[in-house]
Amino acid sequence: MQWKTDWGLQTRMGLTMFLLFAVYVAFAAGLTYALDASIWVVALALGAFTLAQYFFSDRLALYGMGAKEVSREEYPELYASVQRLSQQADLPMPTVAVADTSTPNAFATGRNRKNATVCVTTGLMRTLDRDELDGVVAHELAHIKNRDVLVITVASFLSSLAFLIVRWGAFFGGGRRGGRNGGGGVVVAILVSLVVWIVSFLLIRLLSRYREYAADRGGAAITGQPSALASALLKISGEMEKVPTQDAREQAEMNAFFIIPVKKGFVGSLFRTHPSTEKRVERLRDLERQLESR
């Protein structure tokens, strides 16, 4: 299989970024009005948060999963797999990280191809054989090659920031009267943040499901073994049902990045970001049949 640029994905990413910019401007304007603050102060604060997310998103994602960077000496087989598949994908060697958790999963993070990280869990390495693990690593490398990691990171950041304002609105208000309409300003800020949270989440869904199909195709193109990735997805999906509810709830916020989303808990079940495993496997098996017929 040859790597082909997915123009459907590129178009969706361009549209998502444009809409995110519009949401960002509306968010800044809404907070400025609600809090009766200078537009420059609000824009500077949001800009600073955005830049911090851009430069440190990989560190924050790894920290959130309790993952650490590893060397060739610590995980020789995993490191060799990432290195070999990166060469096949014509990508710079990413940082390799491992999260010590029973949840069998993987994700890619980073702001560009030269500053990327592929992270897998110890649970994943125990669950999959070598070809299946190669398929998952290739899937994550496809995300990096498609440059969709940054778009999801920006979208997730805006959604998370708005959600925090909604969640801690009472705390920010603190019983004090402030803003354009006294305590009402805080209410308006919460309502604006709620709308931004919902819209940014819908934009994530708009892109996330398609990007998973694209990464599945890309991963299959890198390894030339669609069936190995299909087998890995089925194994991971089965093992995810065994993940303790508390662990699943804590990790559900990373759903947009995971190869298979966490299904347990309120967040995981309500806000599904991926197509079903069955549909992904069906498409991969179609690819396998196409390869066999050549």
- The answer on pLDDT for 239 being more than 50 is yes
CB 85 within 8 A of CB 138: yes
Q: How high is the pLDDT of residue 135? A: 97
Q: How high is the pLDDT of residue 41? A: 85
Radius of gyration of the chain (CA): 20
Q: Evaluate whether residue 273 is within a structural domain.
A: yes
Residue 254: pLDDT band with limits 50, 70, 90:
low
- The answer on pLDDT for 123 being more than 60 is yes
Q: Transcribe 132-176 into DSSP letters.
A: HHHHHHHHHHHHHHHTHHHHHHHHHHHHHHHHHHHHTHHHHHTT-
Across residues 263-269, what is the average pLDDT?
A: 49
Q: Evaluate whether residue 1 is within a structural domain.
A: no
Number of domains composing the chain? 1
**Which residue in 217, 222, 212, 218 sits closest to 85, CA to CA?**
222
Distance, in Å, from the CA atom of 200 to the CA atom of 24, rounded to the nearest integer, reads 9
Q: How high is the pLDDT of residue 2? A: 76
The single-letter DSSP state of residue 109 is E
- Known catalytic residues? 140
Top-confidence residue, 292 or 136: 136
How many residues does this entry show for the chain?
A: 294
Top-confidence residue, 82 or 38: 82
Q: List own/partner pairs for 5-9 with CB under 8 A and 24 or more apart.
A: 6/146, 6/214, 6/217, 6/218, 8/210, 8/214, 9/146, 9/148, 9/210, 9/211, 9/214
Q: Collect all residues with Cβ–Cβ distance below 8 Å to 23 and sequence separation of at least 6.
A: 158, 196, 199, 200, 203
pTM reported for the whole predicted model: 0.82
- The answer on pLDDT for 268 being more than 60 is no
CB 284 within 8 A of CB 230: yes
| Domain of 203, in residue numbers | 7-292
Residue for token pair 């934009």: 203
Mean pLDDT of the chain: 83
Q: How high is the pLDDT of residue 256? A: 57
Which of 89-103, 238-252, 269-283 is the least confident region?
A: 238-252
Q: How high is the pLDDT of residue 92? A: 96
Token couple for 218: 């890309």
Which of 204-208, 247-251, 290-294 is the least confident region?
A: 247-251
Q: What is the pLDDT of residues 152-191, one digit of tens each?
A: 877 777 777 787 777 776 555 544 444 555 556 778 888 8
Residue 245: pLDDT band with limits 50, 70, 90:
very low
Q: Evaluate whether residue 194 is within a structural domain.
A: yes
**What's the one-letter identity of residue 3?**
W
Between the CA of residue 126 and those of 105, 123, 286, what are the distances in Å?
Answer: 11, 5, 28
Q: What is the pLDDT of residues 53-81, one digit of tens each?
A: 778 878 888 888 899 999 999 999 999 99
Distance, in Å, from the CA atom of 183 to the CA atom of 174, rounded to the nearest integer, reads 9
